[in-house]
Chain A
Amino acid sequence: MNTADQYLKAIYLVQDREDGPASTGAVADMLDVSPASANEMIGKLEDKGLAEHEKYKGVSLSDDGIVRARDALQNYCIIERFLLEVLEVEDFRGEAKQLESVIDETVAERLDTIIDREPQCPDCFDADDDVCALLEAPATADD
C-alpha cells in the first residue's frame, strides 16, 4: 500500500471516529509521523482532489478520497485477516501495520482468495481496536 493510501485510510478512520474533519495531529499520531510530514502529504492529497484542508478545522476527504480510503482499509482488513486465519499470527494487528507498506493491493486481492471476509467489509472495521469487529481474534495478554 503506497504512502498516499496509508494517509487516506488514516484520515478516513480519524474522521469516522471524530465524526467531522480530522486534525493533522490525530492523523500524524495514527501514522506515527511528524505533524510536518502529515501536513506536507495532506497538501499533496489536496492537490490531487482527494482531500480538503480547512485551517483550524482539519482535513476532510473528497468523494474520490473516500473511495480510495475504503479500498485501502479493505486491503488492510485482508492483511489482518490473512495473518490471523492463514499464518495464525497472534500479533496480527502489530504485524499488519509493519507489513502494509510492502503489501500492494494486487497482492491483497490474491490473499483475499483464500480467506473468509464478510461482505460488509470494510464497514465492520473498528478504528479504536484497529481490527475488524467481526474477526474472531484469540484473547491476548493485553486484551
Chain B
Amino acid sequence: MSLTVPVGSDHQLARLLQIGIVLEEVVEARAARHARETDGLDEEVRTMLEDAVEESADHRHRLEGLVDELDAETVPFEEIETLVEAQYETDEDFDGVLYDQLCNEETAYKFYDDLIEAIEASDIDFGVDREHLLDTLATIREEEAEGAEEVTQLMETRG
C-alpha cells in the first residue's frame, strides 16, 4: 500500500523538473558563495566546491532541455541566486560548508531517486522520450551519489 502518486501528466512532470532545476540553482548559488567567501578554505575543498558549481550548472542545463521539450518555462538562475543571497547565513565555518555541501548532494540524490520512481510508476506517454528522460535523470542521480561520496571522504580526512 502506498500513496506514492505516479507522475500523471506532462504538466506534473514539468513541475517536478522545474523543482529539480531550482534545487540545482540553490546548490550552484550556495556552493559558489561558499567557495568565494569562506575564510580558510584549503585548495582541495575550494576545488570541490567549484566543481560542484560547474556540475550543478550542467545538471540544470540538462533538465532545462527536458523542460523545453515539454513546452514549460523555468525560473532564471539570477532569480534563485537573489533568493539564496537574501537568506544566506554569513557565519558558516569550514565544517558548516562541507556539511552544507553534503546536504546539497544527498538532497539532490533523494529528489532524483523519488522522481525516477514516480516516473517509472506512471504509464503516461510523456511529451518527452521516456528512455531519454530516465537516462538523463539516472545519470544525474549517479553524479549526485559520487558528489556525496567525495564530500564524505573530504570530511573523513579532516575528522
- Contact, CB under 8 Å: B3 / A103: no
Bound CA–CA A95/B11 (angstroms) = 10
Tally B residues with Cβ within 8 Å of A.
Answer: 31
Bound CA–CA A40/B104 (angstroms) = 36
Q: Is A104 an interface residue (CB 8 A)?
A: yes
Min CB distance, B76 to chain A, in Å? 11
Contact with A along B1-38 (1 / 0, CB 8 A): 11111011000100110110011001000100000000
Contact with B along A75-118 (1 / 0, CB 8 A): 00000001000110100000100110111101101110111000
- Contact, CB under 8 Å: B15 / A89: yes
Residues of B within 8 A of A98 (CB): 5, 8, 12
Bound CA–CA A41/B83 (angstroms) = 39
Question: Which 6 pairs show the lowest CB-CB distances between chains A and B?
Answer: A114-B83, A106-B107, A3-B3, A107-B111, A101-B4, A110-B107
Partner of A114 from the list B7, B15, B26 (CB cut-off 8 Å) is: B26
Min CB distance, A86 to chain B, in Å? 6
Within 1-55 of A, Cβ neighbours of B (below 8 Å) are at: 3, 6, 31, 33, 37, 40-41
Bound CA–CA A118/B22 (angstroms) = 21
- Contact, CB under 8 Å: B1 / A87: no
- Contact, CB under 8 Å: B87 / A102: no
- Contact, CB under 8 Å: A99 / B2: no
- Contact, CB under 8 Å: B87 / A113: yes
Bound CA–CA A89/B11 (angstroms) = 12
Residues of B within 8 A of A31 (CB): 3
- Contact, CB under 8 Å: A107 / B87: no
Bound CA–CA A65/B110 (angstroms) = 24
Residues of A within 8 A of B2 (CB): 3
- 27 A-B residue pairs with Cβ-Cβ distance under 8 Å, sorted by A, are A3-B3, A31-B3, A33-B3, A37-B1, A41-B1, A86-B83, A87-B18, A87-B75, A99-B12, A99-B19, A101-B4, A101-B5, A102-B16, A102-B114, A103-B19, A103-B111, A104-B107, A104-B111, A106-B106, A106-B110, A107-B107, A107-B114, A110-B103, A111-B26, A113-B26, A113-B30, A114-B87
Q: Is B80 an interface residue (CB 8 A)?
A: yes
Residues of A within 8 A of B8 (CB): 98
Bound CA–CA A42/B43 (angstroms) = 53
Q: Is B84 an interface residue (CB 8 A)?
A: yes
